[in-house]
Amino acid sequence: MPFKEDFISEKDLRKKTIISFLVFIICIALAIFGWKWLHKQPDEYGTAKPLRKVLNYNGGFFSNFFSNDHLAKTYPVSAAVHHVRVNGSDGMSAGFDASAWKLKVARSEGDTLFVTLDEIKALPKTEIVFDFKCIEGWSQVTHWGGVKFSDFAKKYNLTTQTQMNYVGLVTPDKGYYVGIDMPAIMHPQTLLCYEMNGKPLPMNQGYPLRLIIPVKYGIKHLKRIGSIFFSNERPPDFWFERGYDYYSGL
Ligand SMILES: Nc1nc2c(c(=O)[nH]1)N[C@H]1C(S)=C(S)[C@@H](COP(=O)(O)O)O[C@H]1N2
Ligand SMILES: [Mo]
């Protein structure tokens, strides 16, 4: 059958053009109005309240799909970079006495455990090579070694503690701190890490002990852990207070 063109009258064309233009103007006006409205809303932890609501909702939504069987992609050791980027240094003040360091674990009110680096190194070692992702937009395949947090928790009988909702980790000077939901800290790829590229962690990478948590963005990988505590409420979180997502899952 021969192709039949649909003709549109001059009048209809003008009408369609005017309607399209009006829709365009309305969209622009809504965008400007919406933007102004958003910026008039009160802040909640460093961002406008409606945005904070969306972040919290997304975190809750994606946590439904979290599973210990969902592993971050791993790579052969040969894929790991030798020059590992050093990003943040909050909470890593000068004058830190590494020789006197012990990991402080607050099991409960008045029950605090102190663990030395040698005691941590005596636990089964796990290595991981994965793509470390920073919220700023860069990523790097890097190689880490340490003890699984879940193995550590088992060894130190943190059974009732790990039934709570969150873990808080804080640097010795309290200048950087993160809160992690319990399923993520107990994930089989989450490490209390003391090695990078098969050698002790360099000072600026968090010596003597840092967190490596491949299911989260870089902001949660706290360097130079001083103390750990457990809580049912969200522990304070450095970047959350500055407008970022609390969950920060990948
Ligand atoms: N103590 C401390 N830990 C920190 C930070 C920091 O500023 N201080 N920055 C975080 C951020 S934003 C990222 S991306 C990673 C970077 O780790 P790297 O320096 O080993 O690359 O560390 C995280 N851990
Ligand atoms: Mo980051």
Q: What is the pLDDT of residues 72-113, one digit of tens each?
A: 999 999 999 999 999 999 999 999 999 999 999 999 989 999
| Mutation pick for ligand 1 pocket among 221, 240, 241 (CB with most ligand atoms within 8 Å) | 221
**Within a domain: residue 235?**
yes
Pocket of ligand 1 (CB under 6 A): 85-92, 134, 171, 176, 205, 218-219, 221-224
Q: Cα(87) to centroid of ligand 2, in Å?
A: 7
Q: Mind listing the pLDDT tens digit for each residue in 11-52?
A: 999 999 999 999 999 999 999 999 999 989 999 999 999 999
Max alpha carbon distance in the chain (Å)? 89
**Within a domain: residue 49?**
no
**Within a domain: residue 210?**
yes
Contacts of 196 (CB under 8 A, 6+ apart): 84, 142, 143, 144, 145, 202, 205
**Within a domain: residue 94?**
no
The two counts, helices (H) then strands (E), for the chain are 5, 12
Domain count, the chain: 1
Q: How many CA atoms lie within 13 A of 238 on its CB side?
A: 18
**Within a domain: residue 15?**
no
Query: If you take atom 18 of ligand 1, which residue's CA is the nearest one?
Result: 86
**Band of pLDDT at residue 3, cut at 50, 70 and 90:** low
Give the CATH number, domain containing residue 231: 3.90.420.10
The Cα–Cα gap between 70 and 48 comes to 32
Q: Does the structure show a pLDDT above 80 at 206?
A: yes
Whether residue 193 contacts residue 142, with contact meaning beta carbons closer than 8 Å, is answered with no
**Within a domain: residue 48?**
no
How remote is the C-alpha of 156 from its chain's centroid? 25
Q: What is the pTM of this model?
A: 0.91
The Cα–Cα gap between 91 and 106 comes to 19
**φ and ψ at residue 226, rounded to 5 degrees:** -100, -50
Range of the domain at 214: 69-86+102-242
**Within a domain: residue 154?**
yes
